[in-house]
Amino acid sequence: MSQKQWIAGINAVAAAIEHDAGNVREVMIEAGAKNPRLVEIEENARRRDIDVRRVATQALDGVTGNLRHQGVVARYAAAKTFGEGDLQGLVEAAEGRALLLVLDGVQDPHNLGACLRSAAAAGATAVVIPKDKSVQVNATVRKTSAGAADTVPVVSVTNLARTMRELQKLGVWLYGLAGEADASLYSVDLRGNVGLVLGGEADGLRRLTRENCDGLVSIPMPGVGAGVESLNVSVAAGVTLFEAVRQRQS
């Protein structure tokens, strides 16, 4: 079976069983493992009538490839998916306080996983990614996200620019992160319906994505010029999301 049909690691498997048990077909745990977290996973899986097998370490290595499995993997029938048609309902359910993370072409699965982890921790309404020129939620993303891929809606869209315009019609203000922008992230109001738009690792925001933002902002970085030129996209996502959290709590 392909690696994409498996999720690996204690946090990722535990989260899948907790939040999306209906799609977990089987759990395999390293035979003889004494980690109490693995015992807990086994008990939770059996409680939900999910098949559990104790297997040799080599069997786990065989299905995960180069993923570090921590003694447990789960076979996944299908990830919970959200489409463009779900965005309106998600925004409306947030009742004027929607917080969206829009990622324009993030291609490293570890970066996407880290972004999802920050989004889940910040209580984001959804993460929006394009279907093309962007990594999708795969086994590595799930592992890196430490379960966040099963708790925050990830909406994969065909046309990102069009989706951004639809979000604006729903009353969502879109702020793009750009290092050259004059306005500071800390100077804008992030308390209402807001989408934070970040570009990919190599090229940042694409032209159409920039043009469909309501404004461009930058993260003040006093260290630029002292060997630091920019932030990793997952770090920038964390900074922007938690500035919104800070404002919403004040």
> pLDDT digits over 208-223, tens only?
999 999 999 999 987 6
Q: Same domain, yes or no, for 123 and 208? A: yes
Phi, psi of 230 (to 5 degrees): -160, 170
Cα–Cα distance between 152 and 220 in angstroms, integer? 28
Q: What is the pLDDT of residues 170-199, one digit of tens each?
A: 999 999 999 889 999 999 999 999 999 999
Q: What is the CATH number of the domain that holds 162?
A: 3.40.1280.10
The confidence score (pLDDT) of residue 126 equals 97
Q: What is the CATH number of the domain that holds 43?
A: 3.30.1330.30
Of the three residues 52, 76, 100, the one that is the final residue of a domain is 76
Q: Same domain, yes or no, for 63 and 177? A: no
Cα–Cα distance between 52 and 28 in angstroms, integer? 6
Per the annotation, does 219 bind a ligand?
yes
Most confident of 33-42, 52-61, 218-227, 235-244: 235-244
Per the annotation, does 199 bind a ligand?
yes
Percent of the chain with pLDDT over 70: 93
Angle 244-176-241 (CA atoms, 0-180°, nearest 5)?
20
Positive or negative torsion for Cα 90, 93, 96, 97: negative
Number of domains in the chain: 2
Q: Same domain, yes or no, for 129 and 230? A: yes
Residue 162's pLDDT band, with cuts at 50, 70 and 90, is very high
User: Which residues constitute the domain of residue 147?
Assistant: 84-249
Of the three residues 59, 76, 93, the one that is the final residue of a domain is 76
Per the annotation, does 195 bind a ligand?
no
Q: What is the pLDDT of residues 236-248, one digit of tens each?
A: 999 999 999 999 9
Record the tokens describing residue 140, joined without a space: 């590595």
Q: Same domain, yes or no, for 177 and 58? A: no
Q: Round the average pLDDT of the chain to a whole number and report it.
A: 89
